[in-house]
Amino acid sequence: MATNPVDLKGKKVLITGVTGQVARPLVQAYAKIADVYAMARYAKDADRKEMEGYGAKAVAVDLARPETVSAIPTDLDYVINCAVVKTGNFEHDLKANAEGVGHLIARTKNVKAFLHFSTTGVYEYKGHDLIKETDPLADNHRSMMPTYSISKIATESVCRFAATHFGVPTTIARLNVPYGDNGGWPAMHLHAMRAGHPIHVHPEGPNYYNPLHIDDYVEKVPRLLAVASKEITTTNFGGSERVSIEQWVEYMAELTGLKPNYQKTPLAFGSIAIDPTRMHALIGETKVGWKEGIKRMVRAQAPDLLPLNV
């Protein structure tokens, strides 16, 4: 039976990487009930104003510059770490991501729980086999994102060390295709179709994933915090339904009348379909059906392509 969620009402919650696709909806949702500190580098003043508009307190921190973490309060209840840097420069990305999470945990070591978002891009390619948390890791995304997978693997290791060293209950959640009204990988495919650009797919199709809708991860994050442990809880985190790129692209084509142009290439990411057994045991099944989520996304991203009565 899935664990009950923590109650975030009135709690002090730090959310990092808030200008990114994943974290922004968390700030929007939780700032309504919690005392949210929204952390980012804030290169644009508009981003700071946006976070403050949601009711959050903007905290300017660059994890590649450890001296800046002093801006983070030390009396927090929870941390949700969505920060990620992917410049393609190994020295910088490892410093910001791996070393950065160590500095972050050291600063927030008194929290009730720390949630670190990793990625299923840390796994070795397995074709169409479902991937478990205990499966081998590898440089999965190197063909398109040279520092990403290695940086994420290193960050998990530093996260485990720092959390164990400071005794911080922690969950590492490996995300698989987060998406929603604000975008995501399926939205990139939608815009590629509209622009007449090719959609790159691995030759060993269908290319299966577990797309995770915003509504589901907003609901599940308090449960991921609840299962945090000093032994470090690691789980896959995706939608309960296995769906291929080809399926969601064809569905968007059906909705909009656009025509996909697939281009098969071994450089494209292959299937990363998760075994959701551990996830379901810890936090339960997701609720938003993939077709419902995709239709909502299309309406938000390209309303002119989707009549209101569809």
Whether 202 is covered by a domain: the verdict is yes
In a domain, 7, yes or no: no
Cα–Cα dist 248/45, whole Å? 36
Query: Domain of 272: which CATH number?
Result: 3.90.25.10
Q: Which residues contact 204 (CB under 8 A, 6 or more apart)?
A: 127, 128, 270, 271
Residue 6 in any domain: the answer is no
User: How would residue 70 be classed by pLDDT, with cut points 50, 70 and 90?
Assistant: very high
Which of these, 192, 181, 239, lies nearest to 21 by C-alpha position? 181
Identify whether residues 72 and 200 lie together within a single domain: no
Whether 119 is covered by a domain: the verdict is yes
Q: What share of residues in the chain are helix, strand, coil (percent, to 5)? A: 40, 20, 40
Q: What is the pLDDT of residue 198?
A: 96
Domain count for the chain? 2
Q: What is the pLDDT of residue 145?
A: 87
Same domain, 76 and 149: yes
Distance, in Å, from the CA atom of 117 to the CA atom of 173, rounded to the nearest integer, reads: 5
Reference 209, options 247, 182, 173; nearest CA is 247
C-alpha angle 219/221/224, rounded to 5°?
125
pLDDT above 90: residue 295: yes
Q: What is the pLDDT of residues 127-172, one digit of tens each?
A: 999 999 999 999 989 888 899 999 999 999 999 999 999 999 999 9
Residues 233 and 288 in one domain: no
Looking at the structure, do residues 136 and 118 belong to the same domain, yes or no?
yes
Shared-domain flag, residues 229 and 297: no
Average pLDDT of the segment spanning 184-201: 97
Note whether residue 288 is domain-resident: yes
Confidence at 308, pLDDT banded by 50, 70, 90: low
Note the pLDDT of residue 142.
86
Specify the pLDDT at position 62. Answer: 97
Model confidence band, residue 2 (pLDDT cutoffs 50, 70, 90):
confident
State whether 36 and 168 are in the same domain: yes
pLDDT at 1 over 70: no
Residues in the chain: 310
Are 220 and 110 in a shared domain?
yes
Task: Let me know if 78 is exposed, middle or buried by CB neighbors in 10 A (0-12, 13-18, 19+).
Answer: buried
Residue 309 lies in a domain: no
Q: What's the pLDDT score for residue 106? A: 98
In terms of phi and psi (left: phi > 0; alpha: psi -120 to 50; beta: otherwise), the region of 302 is beta
Domain match, 261 and 163 both: no
Q: Which domain holds residue 291?
A: 180-208+241-304
Residue 228 and residue 116 in one domain: yes
Radius of gyration over every alpha carbon of the chain, rounded to an integer in angstroms: 19
Tens-digit pLDDT profile for residues 227-262: 999 999 999 999 999 999 999 999 999 999 999 999
Residue 99's identity, in one-letter code, is E
CATH code for the domain in which residue 136 is found: 3.40.50.720
pTM over 0.85: yes
For residues 242 and 130, what is the distance between their CA atoms, to the nearest angstrom? 10
Q: Do 41 and 122 share a domain, yes or no?
A: yes
Structure tokens at 235: 């789980």
Q: Is residue 3 part of a domain?
A: no
How far apart (Å, rounded) are the C-alpha atoms in residues 173 and 221? 10
